[in-house]
Amino acid sequence: MTAITAAMVKELRETTGAGMMDAKKALVENNGDMEASIDWLRTKGLAKAAKKAGRAAAEGLVSVATNETCTYGVAVEINAETDFVSRNDQFQSLVDNVTSIAKAGWDSVEALADADMNGKSVRDTITEAIGKIGENMNLRRFESVKVSEGFVASYVHNAVADGKGKIGVLVGLESSKPRADLETLGKQVAMHIAAANPQFLNIESVDPDVLERERTVLIDQAKEQGKPEEIAQKMVEGRIRKYYEENCLTEQTFVMDGETKISKLLGEDITLTGFTRMVLGEGVEIEETDFAAEVAQAVNG
């Protein structure tokens, strides 16, 4: 039997919004398995649907940029220790230079880290900058979006400088329409992505394992309510449609008018090739410390 700690109960409560005793019971019932405990709470109607969005615990900058033809875009995350450094001119210049190199096209963040940057690798240049700026830094992520014909739009929410901030978005619009039309629409869709946080491009791209897990939870919820199997299945199909509307970009309602579905907004002559929504520090957790306890420990030797 896995020991259930206060930290585990706290994490489950923060993830699901469940009460302390319900969270503890869920962990006990599922032998400490966090994912199973989330599903258990949802089945009992004691938790909200949890999206796997990690807490933004790291500092630094997310940077987005496109090539001259706007057919290829990149998003880069470089982390630092404090928010203060994100406003440092040296750090911002470093981020700009790495982003510029990223536009050459790379298969992975590791390949970008090995790329040449004025005679040194990107990785070594960042290491050298650590000594100058005085904070630990690292190149964490690199993602790209491209189209063969059309426009890749970029957007930074609450930018601290041109193309740099804490949330960066890229979206690819494949089309033969005039660039001016695609540029306006692309910016609007990118802003929508920043606000609505879609998990998938369209229904076809939904992870089958994620969908099956969602379906299982919804069926169990219906059964908990005493619904017959046939009714439960019909209820689930309706809820799955709702899941698509909440999580698939093409099925979401455009946040700027609250009425139009994104697929309708695009029309028949524009195809979404992909998108990325990069949030600074997403998925990175830092150890939380109890300052009072640290002081007490120091005093007591």
Q: What is the CATH number of the domain that holds 16?
A: 1.10.8.10
| Residue 55 scores a pLDDT above 60 | no
Lookup: tokens for 52:
């796997």
Q: What is the CATH number of the domain that holds 125?
A: 3.30.479.20
Question: CB under 8 Å to 94, separation ≥6 — which residues?
Answer: 78, 125, 126, 129, 137
What is residue 289's predicted lDDT score, i.e. its pLDDT?
A: 46
Query: Stretch 109-114: mean pLDDT, rounded?
Result: 96
Q: Are 76 and 95 in contact (CB under 8 A)?
A: yes
The pair phi, psi for residue 214, each rounded to 5°, is -65, -45
| 242 in any annotated domain | no
pLDDT digits (tens, 9 = 90+) for 117-151: 999 999 999 989 988 888 889 999 999 999 999 99
pLDDT digits (tens, 9 = 90+) for 158-169: 899 999 999 999
73 and 20 within one domain: no
150 and 88 within one domain: yes
What is residue 120's predicted lDDT score, i.e. its pLDDT?
A: 92
| 261 in any annotated domain | no
Supply angle C-alpha 232, 47, 277, rounded to 5: 100
Query: Stretch 67-88: mean pLDDT, rounded?
Result: 93
143 and 34 within one domain: no
97 and 3 within one domain: no
**In which residue are the tokens 């309708």 written?**
264
Q: Domain tally for the chain?
A: 2
Query: Stretch 283-295: mean pLDDT, rounded?
Result: 54
92 and 46 within one domain: no
| 86 in any annotated domain | yes
Which domain range does residue 31 map to? 1-50
Q: Please report, rounded to a whole number, the percentage of residues in the chain having pLDDT higher than 90.
A: 60
CA distance linking residue 225 with residue 51, whole number of Å: 24
